[in-house]
Amino acid sequence: MSDKLFEITTTPISVDEVSRRVSSPAVGAVVNFAGIVRGTNAGHQVHYLEYEAYPEMAEPMLAQIAEQVKARWPVEEVAIVHRVGRLEIGEISIVIAVASGHRQGAFEAGRYAIDRVKEIVPIWKKEYFEGGEVWIEGPEKPPPA
Amino acid sequence: MRGTVRLFASLREAAGRSKIEWELVEGATVEMLVAHLRTTLPGLDEQAGNTWIAVNRRYASLETALRDGDEVALFPPVSGG
């Protein structure tokens, strides 16, 4: 088990465990977001996904997103853990835990964090389906240099 | 000057490798490196469409000037989450 707040991991993720990483006496609310591998995409059945990351760049970017979150909302701590490798349908691909003194802002902060992860963090997924496989591509534009 | 290139996802598959060493003249840019890679790794050319660039783990552009020891990364639009 790890106590890192920002982590790319090859092992299954537990929501409870990530949530504990952000707990402290100052915390009165933790909002958890879990991304789950969906069994369908655009009307077809998905067999499984393979995630790949550039961990040396992705982990610092997760920390950077958390800094932005803390600057905008009254948040005590943020943890973001993303799994890579082969993930079966129903498995957790990402957990974001946002801890704050009170509930205000924590939901919005979590929403912002997952949106930014999808937009800028160097992680990719390949979808395997009946008769084929395809890399999923996200936003069209890269973040400014 | 020399450095490394790292390729990910569809670009890694197209090139058939994840890491390449580069050697270029002083003053070279990412654009020159990419042009060089496309001649030596034809598979990359077909994936040219929308390539994102990072230098030393920060987003960069084709105009970015390279320095000795730089780690350049090329990859498709991200799709985590």
Q: pLDDT tens for residues A7-41?
A: 999 999 999 999 999 999 999 999 999 999 999 99
Contact assignment for B77 to A120 by CB distance below 8 Å:
no
Residue A94 within any structural domain of the chain: yes
Domains contained in chain A, number: 1
Q: Both tokens of residue A13?
A: 């993720």
Which A residues, 69 through 128, put their C-beta within 8 Å of a C-beta on chain B?
Answer: 82, 93-94, 114, 117-126
pTM, rounded to two decimals: 0.95
Among A38, A34, A21, A140, smallest CA distance to A89 is for: A38
Residue A143 within any structural domain of the chain: no
pLDDT for A141 equals: 80
Give B81→chain A minimum CA distance, Å. 6
Smallest Cβ–Cβ distance between B73 and the set A57, A94, A114 belongs to A57
Contact assignment for B9 to A135 by CB distance below 8 Å:
yes
pLDDT for B63 equals: 95
Residue A145 within any structural domain of the chain: no
In the predicted structure, residue A1 carries a pLDDT above the cut 70: no
B68: three-class secondary structure by DSSP: coil
Residue A53 within any structural domain of the chain: yes
Residues whose CB falls within 8 Å of the CB of residue A35, separated by 6 or more in sequence, listed in order: A92, A93, A94, A95, A114, B81
Positions in chain B whose pLDDT score sits under 50 = none
Residue A1 within any structural domain of the chain: no
Strand partners, A86: A50
What residue numbers bound the domain in which A83 lies? 6-136
Q: pLDDT tens for residues B38-59?
A: 888 878 876 667 899 999 999 9
Topology of B2-75 in CATH? Ubiquitin-like (UB roll) (3.10.20)
Q: Is the ipTM reported for this complex over the cut 0.85? A: yes
B64: three-class secondary structure by DSSP: coil
- Looking at beta carbons, which residues of chain A come within 8 Å of B10? 124, 135
- Residue B78, chain A, CB below 8 Å: the answer is yes
Count Cβ atoms within 10 A of the Cβ of residue A45 and give its class: 0-12 exposed, 13-18 middle, 19 or more buried.
exposed
Residue A44 within any structural domain of the chain: yes
Residue A95 within any structural domain of the chain: yes
pLDDT for A42 equals: 85
Residue A126 within any structural domain of the chain: yes
pLDDT for B18 equals: 97
Output the domain CATH number for residue A42.
3.90.1170.40
pLDDT for B59 equals: 97
